Amino acid sequence: MTGMTWLMVIVVLAWTALFLYFTMHDLKCESKKEEIIAKGEELDPFLFTGEKARAEAREAYLNNDKVLKHFFEEEDVVKFLGIEGK
Amino acid sequence: MDDLSKKRGAWGSRIGFLITTWFAAIGIGNMWRFPFRCAMNGGGAFLVPYLLFIITVSLPAVTAEAAAGKYAHSDAVGSMGKVGGLRGGGVMMLVLNLFGAYYLVVVSQSLYWFGHAIKNTFATESSESVWAAFMDNKMLCFGIFFVTLILSAIPPYFGIKAGIERVAKYIGGFAIIVIAIGAIRAITMPGAIDGIVYYLTPDWGKMFTASTMTSALSQAYFTFGAGWGWYLILSSYLKKESDVGFGHLTTGFADTFFALMAGFAIIPTLFASGYNSENIGTLGSSTAYIAMPKVFQGMAGGYIISVLFFAALFFAAYSCAYVLVEVIGSFFIDTLGMSRKKGTIIAAVLLLICGTPAALSSYVLDSLDTIFGCYLLPLLVTVQVISFGYRFGANRLRIAEYNMYGNGYLGKWMTYLYLYWVPVVNVFLMVYFAWSMSGEGNPWYYGWKGFAVILIVTLAVVIGFDRADRKKGLPYDGMPEKADS
């Protein structure tokens, strides 16, 4: 086997590792969410996507994006957008 | 569980959803076509652009489709209407899936071979004669297609959790284990190392050739199945707190992981059985049923390996078949308000009508595969981009679905790829196929004229429904409840 073949074997192994990592991450996040809901606690919609996602959602809401504003209100997530007084 | 989930059904577990979407992406093409395409187009030189296309083309297209499904919680027509206001696009998706019944014929062939592997027919008869006898016996072809259709309708008939999810978990788990064991066994066989070298060693001279790039692009594009509406429907059964963006990264990785493993199981086995870099090029997707039985007959434990291989091949193919039935059935359930059982039976009857010509004639099967694959599928992905990406807004979809209840943050790069790169690839593919198939020897409908007919019909349906909705006083404004009323 040449060095190039080994390089491609490493690419395949890296791809496999990424597959396993993302799958485990996904399952872990989903089970954490289920745990929170089962405890009767409120689930923060941005728990795993972070403050950047929250800030983008907040900006859309404050900029009066009528579709997203309606969606956030219907889904009852406005309280998680970090808007003072909400 | 909320009221909508109770009414429509919902996934029972995350792993059930993931395995179903993984295997909807994998299909039969990844198990057989990928290893040969990879090996014959420069090995690693094919793999590099293929992986890039998976991430930059297939992933954004599939994720947007899935997010639209979760946003709308409806069937293809309802979701296209609610999310982008283009119900006609959903109607064309139904048409694609109805005539996609030809895929059930492909599944039926793998079922037939699985049956012969169990019977150990290949110990006494050549695979060529079994194949020829099958193709000559039209009643047998139809009968196996009919059985496949019934098998494909059973999981949707019993619902998402009790039907589709349960079946997907068993057969998906089985297929992964079989292919992993097959790959480990194959690479430890004497002479297998030459197969690995042939399979993976990059021939960089081939990397930037038109043949390798278009082959990598079309394999990456079609392997996921964006445009069929499968991810839209599967994701429409997700609960509101479930992720629909980041999780599809696992689909992208799983799809290619399975294809790579299949390559490790097949190519080294062929080399260990006497094939070499000179004559392996004569094999291809049509010889899956001819070459492998011969290879297995010459191996120790060949019977068991043969049964397991053809079982995995059938299960990989079957895992798309019941999703296809579900896409059609969900229209009758969600839009027309029928019960799940009734909707599934009507979907199966329609598929029987649309699939019978392909079951009886390989010419019809090849024609449908070519026309729908080359033109209608890229066209429907383009309609989805217009609908979800431009009319509804790809960034809205990202904020509201990818990143709300998501399992990881997805940046604006996903929306840029979806809005600008995916349509460019779609147009390129359609033009390339029309140009390359307009030569002599092909029917007229394979080339530019066929492309024009598909384009005109699709535009007429999409624009026609849009006009009708406007006349009814339902101008699309992106608000789900208005588009739904």
Mean pLDDT of B171-190: 89
Q: What is the pLDDT of residue B479?
A: 62
User: pLDDT tens digit string along B3-41?
Assistant: 666 778 899 999 999 999 999 988 887 877 888 788 778
Contact between B406 and A53 using a beta-carbon 8 Å cutoff: yes
Residue A36 and residue A52 share a domain: no
B480: pLDDT strictly greater than 60: no
DSSP class per residue in B41-66: TTTHHHHHHHHHHIIIIIHHHHHHHH
B342 touches chain A (CB under 8 A): no
Helices (H), B188-301: 192-200, 204-207, 210-224, 230-236, 247-272, 288-297
B193 contact residues in A (CB cutoff 8 A): 1
State yes or no: pLDDT of B77 exceeds 80. Answer: yes
| Residues of A whose CB is below 8 A from B12 | none
Contact pairs from chain A to chain B, CB under 8 Å: 129
For the CA atoms of B412, B418, B421, B426, the dihedral, rounded to the nearest 10 degrees, stands at: 180
Question: Total structural domains in chain A?
Answer: 2
Model confidence pLDDT, tens digit, residues B113-139: 999 999 999 888 888 888 889 989 999
Q: Which residue in the set A8, A37, A67 is minimally distant from B479, CB to CB?
A: A67
**Residue A33: closest CA among chain B residues belongs to which residue?**
B241
Same domain, residue pair A15 and A50: no
Query: Which token pair is B379?
Result: 């066209």
Looking at the complex, does the CB of residue A71 fall below 8 Å from at least one CB of chain B? yes
One domain for residues A36 and A69 = no
**Phi-psi bin for B409: left (phi > 0), alpha (psi -120 to 50), beta?**
beta
Out of B43, B247, B254, closest to residue A19 by CB:
B254
Asked if A28 and A61 sit in the same domain, the reply is no
Residue A3 sits in the same domain as residue A36: yes
For residue A72, what are the domain limits? 44-86
Tell me if B14 and A22 make a contact (CB, 8 A cut-off): no
pLDDT at B285: 55
Please indicate whether, in this complex, the C-beta atoms of A46 and B197 are within 8 angstroms of each other: no
On the 0-12 / 13-18 / 19+ scale of CB atoms within 10 A, B186 is buried
* Rounded Cα gap, residues B231 and B62, in angstroms: 7
Burial of residue B415 (number of CB atoms within 10 Å: 0-12, 13-18, 19+)? buried
The model's pLDDT over B457-475, given as tens digits with 9 standing for 90+, comes to 999 999 999 999 888 876 6
Between vectors from CA B169 to CA B356 and to CA B314, what angle results, nearest 5°?
A: 35
Please list every residue in chain B whose beta carbon sits closer than 8 Å to the beta carbon of residue A16: 257, 260
**Residue A23 sits in the same domain as residue A50:** no
List the 41-60 stretch of B: residues with Cβ below 8 A of A. 43-44, 47-48, 51
Measured CA to CA, the distance from residue B302 to residue B308 in angstroms comes to: 10
CB B85 within 8 A of CB B79: no
What DSSP assignment string belongs to B90-153?
A: HHHHHHHHHHTTHHHHHHHHHHHHHHHHHHTGGGTS-HHHHHHHHHH-HHHHHHHHHHHHHHHH
Q: Do the Cβ atoms of B257 and A45 come within 8 Å?
A: no
Q: Is the same domain home to A13 and A34?
A: yes
User: For all residues of chain B together, what is the average pLDDT?
Assistant: 89
For A53, the closest chain B residue by CA position comes to: B403
Given an 8 Å threshold on Cβ–Cβ distance, is A49 in contact with B408?
A: yes
Could you say which residues of chain A have pLDDT below 50? none
Same domain, A34 and A57: no
Q: How far is B380 from chain A (nearest CA, A)?
A: 24
* A37 & A62 share domain: no
Read off the pLDDT of residues B232-274 as tens digits, 9 standing for 90 and up.
Answer: 999 999 999 999 998 888 998 999 999 899 888 888 888 888 8
The closest alpha carbon to A51, from A27, A81, A83, belongs to A81
Q: Which residue of A has its CA nearest to B203?
A: A4
User: In chain B, what are the domains?
Assistant: 13-369 (1.10.4160.10)
Q: Does one domain contain both A29 and A50?
A: no
Q: Does B5 touch chain A (CB under 8 A)?
A: no
A39 and A50 in a single domain? The answer is no
Asked if A75 and B404 come within 8 Å (Cβ–Cβ), the reply is yes
CA B477, A66, B389 angle in degrees (round to 5)? Answer: 55
Q: What is the pLDDT of residues B298-355, one digit of tens each?
A: 788 889 989 999 999 999 999 999 999 999 999 999 999 999 999 999 999 999 999 9
Contact B44 A57 (CB under 8 A): no
Q: Give pLDDT tens digits for B359-404.
A: 999 889 888 888 888 899 999 999 999 999 999 999 999 999 999 9
Q: Which of A19, A52, A25, A14 is nearest to B410 (CA)?
A: A52
What is the C-alpha to C-alpha distance for residues B276 and B109, in angstroms, rounded to an integer? Answer: 27
Beta carbons of B240 and A75 less than 8 Å apart: yes
Among A9, A11, A67, the residue with its CB nearest the CB of B396 is A67
Q: Report CB contact under 8 Å: B201, A2.
A: yes
**CB distance from B180 to chain A under 8 Å?**
no
- Say yes or no for a CB contact (<8 Å) between B396 and A60: yes
Confidence at residue A85, expressed as pLDDT on a 0 to 100 scale? 66
Residue B276: pLDDT above 60?
yes
What is the reported pLDDT for B484? 44
- Do A60 and A79 lie in one domain? The reply is yes
In whole angstroms, give the CA distance from residue B354 to residue B269: 38
Please name the member of A5, A7, A30 whose beta carbon is closest to the beta carbon of B196.
A5
